[in-house]
Structure 1
Amino acid sequence: MDKAEPQETVSADVPDGPPPSLHMVQLLAGFQFSQALYAIAKLDVASQLDDGARAIDELAANCGARPELLRRLIRSLAPLGVFRQPNEDTVELTPLGATLSARRPGSLRDVALYWMETHYLPFSEILHTVRTGEPAARHYFGKPFFDWIVADPDMAELQNRGMAGLVGGIRDRMFDDYRLPAGEVVADIGGADGTILSRLLAAEPARRGILFDLPEILPSARKKIEETGMADRVDVVAGDFFESVPSADVYVMAAILHDWDDASCVRILQSVKRAAAPGARLVVIEGVVPPGDEPHATKLIDLVMLALTTGKERGEAEWQQLLSTAGFALDRIVPTKEDYSFIEARLL
């Protein structure tokens, strides 16, 4: 009787891709890549490669970097698809690397600068947050994150540019098929430099706008409104949304409420309720966390909320409950091509 041939067995539980240990090493190494990319953004390397390949020695001289060390940085990032090297002394941009060029539409250079200069170091205290409930940024900076930002005009300006970079770079298409509810005056509450308000009003010349934010945030807003040709349609108003907001027919809040705990959100929404014109509508532009384990941007953004603020990302039931508590009824949630939705509500 012949012996049966040994059969090779493959576990059905082994996923495609790298083994778990290698995958974990790659995840743990993320901080190294983010800092390397920050150095590239800060030196503005990508902008200097927009016109084609260059010698690394020449590039280093223009960037104020040491040639050999810049060469090593580029060599480390090339396998990730950021650069291409025809030879060891020359480098050129890839489409991925080009997203860090300040000269390109939709540039993410300011996003890289903003995240690495404001988010990166507070994240070293996230263990403190999980143990105590105090946001890592407050523990690290000694004050709430946004108080730290507005205390430095340069940092406030960087935040505006970073947020505008996210909208223009990766989120702009979410506005393509959306139109605001009816109403003549649209107030963007916490509207930063006006990028979103300008985008929403661009195709609707009959509407007027109000850009509302803290006085420390608004210097760049007036310039942006001028650049978009909307100075005659948009009023720039300074104030604190915890205290009061201007009267309007439609209120827009883009990525504002996720920065705050529920009680603070209710205070903000009640400021809107007190000021709103009869029949006013509210449009909250935020992510809606889906159930289950499926990948979704909100689940990663929630880490930022955990580390920097008292806020959080919310699911549909949480949004409905929050709005109801503040005196609003959820009308509909309009998903977009990105991981964000337009959450429309009305006053009860």
Structure 2
Amino acid sequence: MDTLNHNLPEISESEAAGLFLIDQAMAFCFQGALRAAAVLGIADQLVNGPKTADELATAVGADADRLHRILRLLTTRGIFREVGSRRYALTPAAEYLRSDVPHSFRAAVIWLTDEPMLRPVGNLVESVRGNSAFEHIYGMPYFEYWAQAQVSSGDFDEGMCSYSTLESSILARSYDFPKDATVADIGGGFGILLLNVLKINPTLHGILYDQEHVLAKNRLGELGDDSRFELVAGNFFESCPPADIYLLKYVIHDWDDKRATQILRCCRQAMAPGGKVLIMDPLIPAGNSWSTSKLADMIVMAACHDGGGTERTEEEYRELLGGAGLRLNRIIDTGTFVPIIEAVAD
């Protein structure tokens, strides 16, 4: 029997707007629920079919009623599906929370929802005032913090690797690389992007350029041909290795214009004739339309380098590149919120 009272009071447009505002202010609760499901490994428990909240709770060592409440919220946005009373199943999105799939986002979700990511964003006012929200909380720069061993349950390297795997595969397929070129992945971390590029383009030679301790964790061995790549340690503010094409994925957006220009200038100085620089960062679209890049902008504002981290518009990239002796040639839509911004010598 329907026991709800359908004689609803009339709510004005202004009142509805106020209720909407409160709804937005509580949106962080969804990220908390998503993190709980990722940490507990709920998706792994559903690989062989739906289970009840009680069965899941027994498997992961949780309280069944509270787990049901977490999953009930996640189903509202398509993360898991309720297929009966308190009985849950995987959805296409939840498949990426599994730890045993090639492009798992589980580590990325745990990293992105960990305290060192959430707290600075919650204290954005400090960055808006011209300081670094991250340093205000933790007393040290973002990358210095993550370089310390076991500082957090949300491991930075594993989180970034998880975050990058699927995206890098898409980006590598989105660009037509010339044959026999040398491609340098600047600040390339574990080399996930470069690995994908080399797999798709068998005539290319790759250079993974990063700090020594980062290079030690590279995954380029998965290529099965050590002759097709080299590891080069260095500082991208000082120099970059000679190459035909430079990959800069999630590098430029970490830095203010002065330091970003330094990186780009080092690429320009080392670049072979006819070379190109490919920037792969979120791009802020014109107008006030929704874009995931605007969320990423809040993260880099809160975390990176005295508030210097920023996502940029097309016009801002044109100006930035011009200061480094480069010219924006074209922007390639990749189907993700990260395009490929192709720059050539000016």
TM-score (norm 2): 0.86
SS in structure 1 at match of 2:230: strand
Q: 1:322 is paired with a residue of what secondary structure?
A: helix
Partner residue in 2 for 1:312 = 310
Asked if 1 retains the 8 angstrom alpha-carbon contact of 2:172 and 2:197, the reply is yes
1:318 CA displacement: 1.2
Tell me, in whole angstroms, the C-alpha distance in 1 between the residues paired with 2:286 and 2:92.
Answer: 34
SS in 2 for 1:69: helix
Do 1:153 and 1:216's aligned partners in 2 also have CA atoms closer than 8 Å? no
Mapped partners of 1:303, 1:89: distance in 2 = 36
Structure 2 contact 188–208 (Cα < 8 Å) conserved: yes
Matched, 1:266 2:261: yes
Q: Kindly tell me: are residues 14 and 198 of structure 1, through their superposed partners in 2, closer, same or farther at Cα, counting changes over 3 Å?
A: farther
In the alignment, which of 57, 63, 79 is matched to residue 60 of structure 2?
63
Give the residue type in structure 1 aligned to 2:316: E
RMSD (Å) for aligned C-alpha atoms: 2.8
Deviation per CA, 1:41-84, whole angstroms, max 9, x where unpaired?
01111111111122433322332323333233223333333233
Alignment partner of 1:227 is 2:241:
no
- AA partner of residue 276 (structure 2): R
Distance 1:93 1:156, change over 3 A: closer
- 1:1-348 superposed matches below 5 A: 19-88=16-85, 90-117=87-114, 118-131=116-129, 133-152=130-149, 158-169=155-166, 172-181=169-178, 184-221=181-218, 224-309=219-304, 310-348=308-346
1:66-119 residue CA offsets vs partner (Å, 9 max, x unmatched) = 333323322333333323334445332223322211123432212211111231
Are the counterparts in 2 of residues 85 and 91 from structure 1 also a CA contact under 8 Å? yes
The answer to whether the 8 Å contact 2:253/2:309 transfers is yes
> How much does 1:35 deviate?
0.9
Runs (4+) of structure 1 exceeding 6 A deviation are 153-157
Distance 1:288 1:58, change over 3 A: closer
Alpha-carbon contact 1:189-1:213 (below 8 Å) kept: yes
For 2:332, the aligned partner's letter is V
Per-residue deviation, 1:345: 1.9
CA gap of 1:14–1:170, structure 2 versus 1, over 3 A, is: farther
C-alpha separation in 2, matches of 1:97 and 1:129:
34
SS of 2:227's partner is coil
Report if aligned partners of 2:110, 2:154 keep a CA contact under 8 Å in 1: no
Secondary structure at 1:235 match in 2: strand
1:344/1:156 CA distance change after superposition, 3 Å: farther
Alignment partners' CA distance in 2, 1:322 and 1:104: 39
> How far 1:179 sits from its partner (Å)?
1.3
Could you tell me which residue of structure 1 aligns to residue 3 of structure 2?
none
TM-score normalized with structure 1 length: 0.85
CA distance in 2, matches of 1:313, 1:181: 28
2:286 counterpart SS class? coil
Q: How many residues of Structure 1 are paired with residues of Structure 2 in the alignment?
A: 332
Do the aligned residues in 2 keep the contact of 1:262 with 1:322 (CA within 8 Å)?
Answer: yes
> 1-side partners of 2:92 and 2:230: how far apart?
38
Task: Please give the alpha-carbon distance, in whole angstroms, between the structure 1 residues aligned to 2:333 and 2:35.
Answer: 32
Relative distance call for 1:22 and 1:73 in structure 2 (3 A) is same
1:259-298 superposed Cα distances (whole Å, 9 cap, x missing partner): 1000011121222234333443211112332221122222
Percent identity for Structure 1 against Structure 2: 32
